[in-house]
Each structure stands twice: as C-alpha cells, then as structure tokens.
C-alpha cells in the first residue's frame, strides 16, 4: 500500500510539474519567436569554439544553436531532413567533404563583398557555395633515426621502391588521402596518379588502419619510417605535455613536400549556407564573422590550423615551430571535382 501511495504521489507531482512547464512554455513563446537565432551544424568541438560563438552572439545578438555530430553523419542528417531542415550553416573539414555536400545540393550560394575580399580565391567556391576559413597541410612525417632529410622531398617520391615496407598511412579512401590523390590527378593525370597510388600501396608497412595520429605513433614505435599526416595532428603532439606524446614528437620529424615545385597540398576547414536555411541573414552574418580577425584566430587556433585571411598572423607556438612553407595554390574546387576519379583510383589500387 505504501508503494501505491508513493506512486500516486509521484504521478501527482509529475502532472503538476507538467502543468507548470506548459504554462512556462506558453508564457515564453512570444519572446522566443522574436529572438534571433542561427542553427549551426558543426563537427567541431574545441575549447576556443565557446569564445568564437559567444563573441558572435555579443556582436550581433544572434543566439547560436549548435548541433554537433560526426563529419559524414551531419551531411547525411541534413540530406535526410530535406526541406524541413532547420540547419542554417554547415561547418566541416576538407574540400572533399564540402564538395560532397555541394554535390548533394545541400548549399545555396552566398554573395558577399566581405568574404570575396577577405578570403583567398583558392580557398572558396567560385559561386559562394562554401568558404574556407582555416588551412591545414598534408605533410610527410619521418623517423628522425632512420630517415635523413633529403632522402625524400615530394609526394611523388613516396612511390620509390626504396620505401618498400616502410610507409604508414590511413586508408586511401579516406577524404584526406582522396583530396591528395585529387591534387595529383590535376598535376600528373589519371594514369600516372594510378601508378603512383599502386606504388605507394606496395610500399606500405602494414594494412591501413587508424587515423593520422596512429601513423605518427607507428613511426615513433618503429613500425614504419614514413607517414602521411595533416599538420594539426603533429602540432597537437608538439604542444602536448603528456610524456608519451612528447616522445612521439621528438622521434618524428616532418617535411613539407614539393617545396621545389608546386608546393605542399593544403586543405581547409570551411562552411556554407544551407539551401533550406530558415535564418538566411543570420547565416550570412555568421559566414562573414568567421572571416573577421578575432574569429580567424579562434577558429584556426582551436585545431592548430593557419588562418586563411592573410593579414591575420597566427599566435600559436606549434605553428611557429612548423615554420613557413610554399602552399599549392590549386583551387580547392578542383580538388572537389577530382574526388570521383580519386575514389576510382583508390578502389582499383589495392589499398582501401
Ligand atoms: Fe582530422
């Protein structure tokens, strides 16, 4: 009987709470309707992002509702939501993914003098479907003990048989490698790029597994002598206070490929306005805000990337240690367009 009366009282209290909530919701509705909001779909979750977003809200009065998810999951979600999607802006990484979202028809064009003047043309879509805000480079990491500087200088060199059994990388089908292969398709053509991809596959020390950090760890552990990595993974190790991560950074050196020629393959973190964005004005303001000096620093620093706005100088110890380099100036739209060819090559070449 005790239990029944307890359940009854609980039920009563739940009903009462529900009634109070209903009243509160109704009372709050008119002010919510007037509140300016931006629905941001992002896969980023860095500490500096809090400052990035609160700064925007302070400047514009627009509240940001953040939906976080995995890179590919967010694109899939927006696609499934269709014209009912509340998403205003998608923030994601790699031109390959921005291109995928573009191909699915998820973006709408944004015309903005601010964005056109502040962001280099190579890092944005020619029709304003997406914009790149921070840059990362795909570099070659090497064992300081087993590789001498000068043993390797270019991506093309990775195909040299002298590296047989000595290279680690994540899968060729991962978007970071697909974008690198896309850039090679542009410079070498499809046939030569396929030869290169097959040769690199036959030089691998092990079946591709894990992310870029796993490859850096494998070089330090002696499983391989060379690895491909995005710069921010190495920069994170450079900044780490953890003894095991510091040890990896000490054993592994990095070089910027193709400095004597076209430059190192650079990719972006970027964003675009979604086709069914309910808050278009807020979306444009946010895209422009990301190109401001303050936002550039927050956005790039959050993941140890370089700001793309040329006048903004990164204030980041790890980036300072990486130094300056010549970046490939190929428009990232081209990297996007070559993705299907790169995917075919990856599928055919034996390391997926
Ligand atoms: Fe990454």
pLDDT for residue 48: 79
Whether the predicted pLDDT of 191 surpasses 70: yes
Q: What is the mean pLDDT of residues 180-205?
A: 97
11 Cα–ligand 1 center, Å:
49
pLDDT for residue 315: 87
108 Cα–ligand 1 center, Å:
26
pLDDT band at 9 (very low <50, low <70, confident <90, very high): low
348 Cα–ligand 1 center, Å:
25
Q: What is the mean pLDDT of residues 4-10?
A: 50
345 Cα–ligand 1 center, Å:
22
67 Cα–ligand 1 center, Å:
19
Contact by Cβ (8 Å): 123, 333: no
pLDDT for residue 332: 94
pLDDT for residue 34: 67
Give backbone dihedrals phi and psi of 31, rounded to 5 degrees, phi first.
-75, -35
pLDDT band at 17 (very low <50, low <70, confident <90, very high): low
Whether the predicted pLDDT of 135 surpasses 50: yes
Nearest-10 Cα torsion for 324, 133, 184, 200: 70
Cα–Cα distance for residue pair 64/59, rounded to 1 Å: 12
299 Cα–ligand 1 center, Å:
15
First CA to last CA distance, the chain? 64
HEC per residue, 148-205: CCCCCCCCHHHHCHHHCCCEECCCCCCHHHHHHHHHHHHHHCHHHHHHHHHHHHHHEC
Parallel, antiparallel, or unpaired: how do β-strands 63-68 and 37-42 relate?
Answer: parallel
pLDDT for residue 83: 96
C-alpha of 186 from chain center: 22
pLDDT band at 177 (very low <50, low <70, confident <90, very high): very high
Whether the predicted pLDDT of 21 surpasses 60: no
211 Cα–ligand 1 center, Å:
8
pLDDT for residue 30: 46
21 Cα–ligand 1 center, Å:
42
Measured between alpha carbons, how far is residue 140 from residues 44, 68, 86, 307, 343 in Å? 25, 31, 40, 21, 21
193 Cα–ligand 1 center, Å:
24
pLDDT for residue 50: 86
Tens of pLDDT, residue by residue over 41-90, are 998 877 778 889 999 999 999 999 999 999 999 999 999 999 999 999 99
What integer best gives the mean pLDDT of the chain? 91
Tens of pLDDT, residue by residue over 219-255, are 999 999 999 999 999 999 999 999 999 999 999 999 9
192 Cα–ligand 1 center, Å:
27
120 Cα–ligand 1 center, Å:
22
pLDDT for residue 22: 47
Residue 38 pairs in a beta bridge with 64
49 Cα–ligand 1 center, Å:
16
Instruction: Choose between 206 and 15: higher pLDDT.
Output: 206
Whether the predicted pLDDT of 20 surpasses 90: no
């Amino acid at each position: 009987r005790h239990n029944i009366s307890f359940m009854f009282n609980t039920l009563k209290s739940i009903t009462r709470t529900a009634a109070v909530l209903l009243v509160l919701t109704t009372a709050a509705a008119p002010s919510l309707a007037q509140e300016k909001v931006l629905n941001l779909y992002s896969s980023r979750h860095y500490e500096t992002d809090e400052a990035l977003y609160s700064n925007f809200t302070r400047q514009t009065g627009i509240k940001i509702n953040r939906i976080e998810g995995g890179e590919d999951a967010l694109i899939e979600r927006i696609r499934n939501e269709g014209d009912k999607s509340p998403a205003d802006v998608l923030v994601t990484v790699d031109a390959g993914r921005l291109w995928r979202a573009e191909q699915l028809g998820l973006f709408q064009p944004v015309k903005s003098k601010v964005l056109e003047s502040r962001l280099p043309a190579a890092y944005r879509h020619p029709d304003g479907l997406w914009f790149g805000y921070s840059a990362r480079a795909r570099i070659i990491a090497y064992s300081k003990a087993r590789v001498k500087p000068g043993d390797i200088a270019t991506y093309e060199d990775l195909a040299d048989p002298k590296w047989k059994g000595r290279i680690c990388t994540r899968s060729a089908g991962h978007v970071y490698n697909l974008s690198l292969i896309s850039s090679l398709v542009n410079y070498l053509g499809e046939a030569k790029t396929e030869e290169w991809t097959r040769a690199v596959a036959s030089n691998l020390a092990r079946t591709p597994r894990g992310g870029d950090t796993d490859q850096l760890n494998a070089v330090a552990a002696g499983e391989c002598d060379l690895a491909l990595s995005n710069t921010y993974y190495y920069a994170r190790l450079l900044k780490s206070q953890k003894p095991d991560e510091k040890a990896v950074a000490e054993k592994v050196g990095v070089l910027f490929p193709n400095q004597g020629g076209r430059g190192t393959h650079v990719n972006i973190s970027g964003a675009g306005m979604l086709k069914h964005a309910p808050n278009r004005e807020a979306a444009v303001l946010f895209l422009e805000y990301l190109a401001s000096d303050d936002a550039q620093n927050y956005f790039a620093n959050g993941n140890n990337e370089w700001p793309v706005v040329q006048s903004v100088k990164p204030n980041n110890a790890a980036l300072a240690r990486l130094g300056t380099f010549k970046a490939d100036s190929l428009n990232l739209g081209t990297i996007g367009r070559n993705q299907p060819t790169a995917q075919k090559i990856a599928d055919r070449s034996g390391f997926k």
